[in-house]
Structure formats: structure tokens, C-alpha cells
């Protein structure tokens, strides 16, 4: 897939609503974004957590995409999750297909989709699986390659993570970077909408992908984002979307290749720092509960024996894990001080 040859030398962009909700909705969005978009996206089949949620208009929505194609000249794409979806899309002349995160995760589904595409060289985008497993992502791409699909790009949409509080799906940048190293011929597109799950950090994540030399972006855009039937908190209006694309800056990264190894290590450090902060926040939540319990049962905050035990454990851990005792003690003291402050606040109430 040659993604470099795009209209405005900005990254290659795929944009459109999360779901196709009506013919007029897709046509309006497509018209509003066509000048800054390479490919239009809209979900016809929506994989939903809750069985009673809107699951897409299916084949009817595919007809709306044909209308977008013929009236705007934009290339159109949608998500396929079964051989039947593939068949409907191919019959309708949908230009590009993507495999969603909940499908990439299952090699049987990917294989069935690949077989439905045998002999047809339609471009396919493969989203990363929901879990952070590089080999599953690579395996899905290989299944398509093995069947004879040449035009394949990867889409990085972040990974599910139990402790995540900041993103909807944690980016774990080291994983797409590793995929690029393993498969340098596969273009890499970032989907900041599903990574962020919210509008306020969309631009920063898009710029980050641009800085990492990703080839393109997939962004969800909707006329009235708050009223969207799916993924309403992460969609942006066509105006905001156009501004976001316009604001992206190609930073001078020097002449050599990007320091991918350094980026991978930094990304891992970022993940760990986030884990530490999340754990600290969870710990303080429990400290507050303990505060309430102590207040109700008239127990004093400072428990000397308990504190000595925690310190002793920490020191032993330091010795075993090549950390200085001073470092571990300092951190525990900080945590302990904050915990006491939190409990005192509860006691004074």
C-alpha cells in the first residue's frame, strides 16, 4: 500500500463516523471532510459488548457507503468480521476493508476472512488485537499475506488494560514499533480515537504517532459527536477534525532513522510509570477506607507495629532486587505520609 502519495503530504487519513447511522449522516460527514481525507470510514457491522446495543445497519449501510463513493469520489471502507460481510462488501465495490480488534484476536475468524478474500486483491487494514500480543497481530497479517493479499496495512488502536485510567486503550507504543521492525513493508496507521476514548487528548496522541513516523491516521468524526450512537465521547466534528490535521507538525527528526529502540524503552518506562501512579491511587483509596473503619471503631491512625512490618518487608525486597535500602525507605515514607494525611482528613470530618 502506498500511503505516502496522499493529497496534502500530511499523514494518510481515514476518517468518518464510528457507525453509519443514516444515509444523510454519512453523506453530510463525507462532504464535510472530503478535502482533508483520503479514505472515508463508517462501521456497518458494530461489535458491541451489550447485546441490546446498536449493532449497525449492515447491508443497508453498505449501500450508503456506495452513495458516498459515487457522490464525493472518496474511497470508502468498513469493518468486516465474517465471510458474509466480506461477500457483501466485495459485491458492493467497497474499496478497502478493515479487520477489527475483536476479530484479530481470533485466528479462526481471521483465517475465514482471509479465505473469503482469496483471489481478490482488495486492500485490508488489520487492527491490533485487544490484548497486547504482538505475535497475534503479526499472525493475522501473515494469514492474509499467505492467501495472496498484497495491500495490507496495520492499524494501532491501543490495548485493553485492566488498570488503565487515562486512555480507553493503552497505546503501548513499543508494540507497533516492534511490528514495524518485524514487517517494514507493512504501513502503520494510528487510530487515536480508540486509543483515547475522549476528545481532549486526541491531538496529542495523533502528533505522537506522527512523531514516531507512522504512515497514517484513522480518526472518528461525527456531525453531532455527543449524540453519536456509538463511541460518542471520542468523536469530533468535521471542523475540529480538519483543524487537528492542519495542526499536525512534521518535526525535524534528523537525517537518520528514528531511534526506535530508545522509543520502545521509553514506552515501556511510560507504561510502568502509569502503573505506579494507578497503584498509588488505588492504595490511597484503600487508606481512606481504613480511615473510615478506624474512625467508626475508635482506633488510632498510626499503628507502630504495622509500620515496622511494612518497612522490614521493603528493606528485604531492596536487598534481593538490587535496589538501595535508602531508595525503598524514602518511597515507603512518602507513601506512608500521604496515607496518614488521607486518613486524617477522614477522621476530622
Which residues of the shown chain bind Mn ion in the complex (CB under 5 A)?
18, 231
What is the CA 303 to chain-centroid distance, rounded? Answer: 44
Count the site residues for ligand PEP by CB under 6 A: 9
- Determine, following the binding rule CB under 6 A, whether residue 168 of this chain makes contact with ligand PEP: no
Is residue 127 near ligand PEP by the rule CB under 6 A?
yes
Q: Three cell numbers at 145?
A: 499475506
Nearer to ligand PEP, 114 or 219 (CB): 219
101 lies in the site for ligand PEP, by CB under 6 A: yes
Strands (E), 196-282: 216-220
Residues 14 and 78: their CA atoms lie apart, in Å, by 11
Residue 156 lies near ligand PEP (rule: CB under 6 A): no
101 binds, among ligand PEP, Mn ion, none (CB under 5 to 8 A by kind): ligand PEP
* Among Mn ion, ligand PEP, none, partner that 168 touches (CB below 5 to 8 angstroms by kind): none
Q: Which of 85, 143, 156, 157 binds ligand PEP (CB under 6 A)?
A: 157
CA distance 185 to 259: 18
Question: Closest approach of Cβ 47 to ligand PEP, in Å?
Answer: 6
Helices 304-320 and 325-348, interaxial angle, to 10°? Answer: 150
- The footprint of ligand PEP on residues 183-222 (CB under 6 A) is 194
DSSP state of 162: T
What is the four-CA torsion angle of 15, 18, 19, 25, rounded to 10 degrees? -50
Q: Interior CA angle at 92 toward 86 and 96, to 5°?
A: 60
Closest approach of ligand PEP to the CB of residue 194, in Å? 4
Stretch that binds ligand PEP, among 97-105, 311-319, 323-331, 341-349 (CB under 6 A): 97-105
Closest CA to 20 of 95, 93, 77: 77
x/- letters, 296..315, toward ligand PEP (CB under 6 A)? --------------------
| Cα 221 to Cα 202: distance, rounded to the nearest angstrom | 12
Amino acid at each position: 500500500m502506498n500511503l505516502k502519495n496522499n493529497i496534502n503530504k500530511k499523514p494518510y487519513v481515514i476518517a468518518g463516523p464510528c457507525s453509519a447511522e443514516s444515509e444523510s449522516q454519512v453523506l453530510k460527514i463525507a462532504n464535510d471532510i472530503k478535502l482533508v481525507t483520503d479514505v472515508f470510514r463508517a462501521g456497518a457491522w458494530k461489535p458491541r459488548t451489550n447485546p441490546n446495543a446498536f449493532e449497525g445497519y449492515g447491508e443497508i449501510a453498505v449501500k450508503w457507503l456506495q452513495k458516498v463513493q459515487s457522490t464525493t469520489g472518496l474511497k470508502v471502507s468498513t469493518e468486516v468480521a465474517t465471510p458474509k460481510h466480506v461477500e457483501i462488501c466485495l459485491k458492493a465495490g467497497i474499496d478497502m476493508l478493515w479487520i477489527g480488534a475483536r476479530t484479530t484476536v481470533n485466528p479462526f475468524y481471521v483465517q475465514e476472512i482471509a479465505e473469503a478474500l482469496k483471489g481478490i486483491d482488495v486492500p485490508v487494514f488489520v487492527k491490533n488485537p485487544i490484548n497486547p500480543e504482538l505475535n497475534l497481530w503479526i499472525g493475522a497479517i501473515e494469514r492474509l499475506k499467505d492467501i495472496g493479499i498484497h495491500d495490507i496495512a496495520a492499524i494501532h488502536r491501543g490495548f485493553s488494560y485492566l488498570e488503565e485510567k487515562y486512555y480507553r486503550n493503552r497505546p503501548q507504543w513499543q508494540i507497533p514499533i516492534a511490528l514495524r521492525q518485524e514487517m517494514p513493508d507493512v504501513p502503520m496507521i494510528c487510530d487515536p480515537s480508540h486509543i483515547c476514548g475522549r476528545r481532549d487528548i486526541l491531538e496529542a496522541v495523533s502528533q505522537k504517532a506522527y512523531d514516531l513516523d507512522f504512515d497514517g491516521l484513522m480518526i472518528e468524526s461525527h456531525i453531532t459527536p455527543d449524540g453519536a450512537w456509538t463511541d460518542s465521547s471520542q468523536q469530533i466534528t468535521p471542523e475540529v477534525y480538519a483543524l487537528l490535521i492542519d495542526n499536525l507538525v512534521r518535526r525535524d527528526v534528523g537525517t537518520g532513522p528514528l531511534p526506535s529502540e530508545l522509543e520502545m524503552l521509553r514506552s515501556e518506562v511510560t507504561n510502568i510509570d502509569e502503573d505506579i501512579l494507578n497503584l498509588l491511587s488505588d492504595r490511597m483509596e484503600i487508606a481512606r477506607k481504613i480511615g473510615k473503619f478506624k474512625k467508626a471503631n475508635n482506633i488510632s491512625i498510626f499503628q507502630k507495629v504495622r509500620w515496622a512490618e511494612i518497612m522490614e518487608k521493603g528493606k528485604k525486597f531492596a536487598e534481593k532486587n538490587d535496589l538501595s535500602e535508602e531508595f525503598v525507605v524514602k518511597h515507603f515514607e512518602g507513601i506512608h505520609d500521604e496515607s496518614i494525611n488521607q486518613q486524617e482528613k477522614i477522621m476530622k470530618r
